[in-house]
Structure 1
Amino acid sequence: MGAIDLPASAVETGMPLEWGIERTMTDFEATMWRLEADPRLRSPVAAVEVLDRTPDWDRFLAAHEWATRVLPRARMRVVDTPLHLGNPVWAVDPNFDLSFHVRRQHLPSPATFDQALQVCQAVVSEPFDPARPPWQALLVEGMQGGPAVYLIKTHHSLTDGLGGMQMLALLHSRRRRHNPHKWQCEPPAGEPIGPWGALSEQVTRGARAAPTRLVATALRAPRTLALATHPASAAAAIRWLRSLNHLLAPPTCPPSPLLRGRSLSYRFSVLETTVDALKRAGKAGGGSLNDAYVAALLGGFRRYHEALGCPIGQVPMAMPVSMRTGGNPMGGNRFSGARFAAPVDIEDPAERIAAIREIILSVRHEPALDALQMLAPALSRIPTPLFTDWYASQSTRLDLQASNFRGIPVPVYVAGARIERMFPFGPLPGCAVMVVLASHCGVCCIGINADPAAVTEPDLFLHCMQAGLDEVLRLGGGTAPRSLTAWRKAWEESS
């Protein structure tokens, strides 16, 4: 499970927020932003939080107004350069309007969590307005005095999963009561900068930094030459190139014939278990929590294909790998990715965990694992139509993408409402199914985003995924929560 130390809440500490402070997108982030030109490759990331009560709307709005003041990035839009001569920059939107970004929707009673989830999936599937900061929040209400759902949606170029958790940890309170003494500041001044201004800014900054870079290069030159001519360095370079070829090659198995369809729609569903139960299952199979998690997903895929009379042996799968360290600044994107053929036809869950562990350990030790970041400068300069067509040709061959990371381990609140669950949902950049796991207060919250054109029997698919999770958990002597969990029972009973 991806892990990084989470910051203290700014609501309590009263500290300025140094999250997302880079002015210019990295080459990698610029590529993600420009992929938005192809509707198939949109990359919104979302968190669906289950609240124990419906917060007061005025307090809810005030909390977001405060957040956009202490977190300047929340008021920034993306300004791209002409002809992509430079990378997009973040600039404070001179026309920032909180009411555009923070909305509410009241469902007719009796409302269910599944209905709220359908509202969320529709909002997340909508494209961002490129002229505004790329985020949106929605409060879904429905029961008098009952629970509510809070959706936070951002563009992936803004941050990755761990960076998003850092942001939520900063902005969520650690107590239910209002804190009238929290740190306050004026909103950042608007920046009416255009494409040419963004380019000029980068050229000026680059010219200022050029002497420093030249001196640093000159000082490194003797050591670099010595290393380059050493036999060990040549051997390492060969290993790296072989690793790069392995990482760039598509998985060795064909896509599932059942999951060929693609659309621009999303379908959300959720599963959950406890962190301890999934850890015990992983240990029983000789692996980790992550190995047990992936094994559970593959067990669900096997059942779904067998139920529809189309058994398969492997599925092409991708998994992001966090490249973050404790010394990295908060926010931004620091991950790489790996693709591989994932075993589906191993019926014994312990054997499946062992097989997954061997594959993932091999991937994590690839010398060229960070190649995605290294190749980003070249990729970001490829004409957008050519790059999107190539990327789509690769991503549509994937049946499953799966990610997981550590969430917030302590109770947190928004506008006086306690967050009971925090379900993460990743984008579908051409693949059939994206599954993301984030822990929250000891619970593994699993968000499933499936393309309905690929997964044509969604109820059966969710049933199979639940069975796959149960099967793995039984290795550790437990099962996933059955039927409705406590928060979901409260939701249903209140309606």
Structure 2
Amino acid sequence: MVDRLSALDASFLHLEDHTTPMHVGGVAVFERPAHGLDYDDMLAAVRRGLRDAPRYRQKVVRLPGFVGRPVWADDPDFDLRYHVRRSVLPEPGEDEQLYELTQRLMSRKLDTTRPLWELHLVEGLSRGRVAVITKTHQAMIDGVGAIDLGQLILDTTPERGLARSEDRWSPAPVPGFAGLVASAVEEALNQPGELTENLRTAATGARVALRRMTGVLGGVCSTLAAALTPSPSGTLNAPTSAHRRFAVARGRLEDFRAVHHRHGGTVDGVILTALAGALRTWLLWRGEAVTARTTVRALVPVPVDEGMPEIRGSEETGRPFERVAARLVDLPVGEPDPLVRLYQVGYAMRARQDTGRPVTVRALLRLSGFAPTTLHALGARVAGGLSDRLFNLLVTSAAGPQAPLYGAGALMEEIFPVVPLMRNQSLAIGITSYNGGVFIGLNADRAAVPDVNVLAAMIEESVEEMIGTVGR
């Protein structure tokens, strides 16, 4: 039996173009161990991880004329060295050079004739560090056939990452054209609506087909009223160009918790309040009009009744989140007082939570294979199915363990997510907690937000402002 892409995953392939590549990424920085870490070590680590993730050796095989959705098939020409690449930064190897490399890599689409992922080992960082930049297509991360690329190489102990194993993989034969067509026809006869949907996609385009998912995603949106209200227009909804800018911000989880314990609410509310304060300062710095009523609408996927996963999540309970919702939260960037902003954000999130219709992962699986392994992927999927007029920016969060992780025997110091931009979206923010730190990655359109590094610095300043309220 063929392994066919879900309707949503196929839409992501049809939807992307040179301005909106549909891959999720990450930038992880490692402390080089005493024994060293080279390209061969990374190849061995990835090769070992591939045993548990067969999707990473498969490519997409398309059928002509939209007779049926594409299928996954083993790539007989799979070349691990094509997907695992090596780069060396020129001296002095500062972090800004790493982020420049990241934004260049993230601007380029993945090769759809090969398995849809890349891993770049980056050497030459200052202080003897190395980095890993990953790119994985949204169609890959369905929660069933594939896990997140970072999970292939990360271990809880350095010793496991040094183990070598022989690769005995042999590709299964690629399905023949006649067999694929026959299978698609059989499915169409058993499910007449399937053929109708495929023809509609061919006639009207993938974007219309994806938008038809809004009926499903409407259940993910926390309130129908918010979904029907257009978001405030402005800089963050400019036409998307082909190039990106990437910047990062850092915080300490204990600081966010301290603000939460002092003033109530939730830690996710504290983080969103810090983002709102930074956006306010940034808009004023750019000379844009900001009034007391100015808001920026964020699409924020969160576990239902759990808050952001860096506080309570699978690393503490040992169980993955089974219920998720994407809330539309109007960030009060017009409010100058950080405490008032905190209360306003808390109120907005409680209102969304009280009236929301959470959708279980199992229910989404039955509908369309909508079951990503991280909230970063979930957020991008939800954003892709909603009108770009409903929100200004995407803010995703994914939990990481509060204990050290190792890649190929090297200690991971930091990890920053790279969330893709949707059409007419100029900024996406990803937040990952790990080992006591909160790491924020900002992926921005180069033409609309060339000063994203300024915004990143303002986020850290806004976090310090929130910390200063603990004594108030």
TM-score (norm 2): 0.75
Instruction: List gaps (5 residues or longer) in structure 2.
Output: 193-217, 371-382
CA RMSD of aligned residues (A): 4.0
Match for residue 407 of structure 1? 400
For 1:30 and 1:179, the matched residues in 2 are separated by 34
SS at match of 2:265: coil
Match for residue 141 of structure 1? 123
| CA 375–298 in structure 1, closer or farther in 2 if over 3 Å, else same | farther
CA positional deviation for 1:107: 1.5
CA positional deviation for 1:426: 0.4
On the 8 A contact 2:20/2:242 being kept in 1, the answer is: no
For 2:148 and 2:427, the matched residues in 1 are separated by 25
Percent identity over the alignment is 26
| CA 60–52 in structure 1, closer or farther in 2 if over 3 Å, else same | same
Match for residue 421 of structure 2? 428
For 1:344 and 1:257, the matched residues in 2 are separated by 14
On the 8 A contact 2:99/2:247 being kept in 1, the answer is: yes
Match for residue 339 of structure 1? 328
CA positional deviation for 1:321: 3.8
Q: Determine which of 418, 433, 455 is the counterpart of 2:411.
A: 418
Match for residue 29 of structure 1? 9
1:270 matches 2:254:
no
Q: Determine which of 210, 225, 230 is the counterpart of 1:246.
A: 225
Of 50-59 and 298-307, more deviation after overlay is shown by 50-59
For 2:428 and 2:330, the matched residues in 1 are separated by 16
Q: Determine which of 458, 463, 471 is the counterpart of 1:469.
A: 463
Q: Determine which of 453, 457, 476 is the counterpart of 2:451.
A: 457
For 2:343 and 2:142, the matched residues in 1 are separated by 28
For 2:60 and 2:156, the matched residues in 1 are separated by 32
For 1:392 and 1:263, the matched residues in 2 are separated by 20
For 1:243 and 1:177, the matched residues in 2 are separated by 44
| CA 203–363 in structure 1, closer or farther in 2 if over 3 Å, else same | farther
SS at match of 1:424: strand
1:57 matches 2:35:
no
On the 8 A contact 2:324/2:358 being kept in 1, the answer is: no
Q: How does 1:30-429 map to 2 (within 5 A)?
A: 30-36=10-16, 38-53=17-32, 55-143=37-125, 146-159=128-141, 168-169=150-151, 171-177=153-159, 186-193=168-175, 197-198=179-180, 200-201=182-183, 245-246=224-225, 248-251=227-230, 253-257=231-235, 260=238, 262-312=240-290, 313-322=294-303, 337-370=326-359, 373=364, 394-395=387-388, 398-429=391-422
SS at match of 1:344: coil
Counterpart of 1:363, as a letter, is R
SS at match of 1:39: coil
| CA 183–141 in structure 1, closer or farther in 2 if over 3 Å, else same | closer
CA positional deviation for 1:408: 2.7
CA positional deviation for 1:115: 0.1
Counterpart of 1:315, as a letter, is V
SS at match of 2:247: strand
Of 122-131 and 175-184, more deviation after overlay is shown by 175-184
For 1:347 and 1:161, the matched residues in 2 are separated by 41
For 1:160 and 1:359, the matched residues in 2 are separated by 30
For 1:84 and 1:244, the matched residues in 2 are separated by 35
Match for residue 4 of structure 1? none
CA positional deviation for 1:153: 1.1
For 1:400 and 1:348, the matched residues in 2 are separated by 22
Counterpart of 2:26, as a letter, is A
Of 282-291 and 110-119, more deviation after overlay is shown by 282-291
On the 8 A contact 1:435/1:449 being kept in 2, the answer is: yes
Of 63-72 and 45-54, more deviation after overlay is shown by 63-72
| CA 242–75 in structure 1, closer or farther in 2 if over 3 Å, else same | closer
Match for residue 222 of structure 1? none
Instruction: List gaps (5 residues or longer) in structure 1.
Output: 1-21, 211-238, 380-389, 479-495
For 2:391 and 2:432, the matched residues in 1 are separated by 22
SS at match of 1:453: coil
Q: Determine which of 438, 441, 447 is the counterpart of 2:441.
A: 447
CA positional deviation for 1:168: 3.3
| CA 242–466 in structure 1, closer or farther in 2 if over 3 Å, else same | closer
Number of residue equivalences: 413
CA positional deviation for 1:71: 1.7
TM-score (norm 1): 0.72
For 1:242 and 1:471, the matched residues in 2 are separated by 31
CA positional deviation for 1:249: 2.0
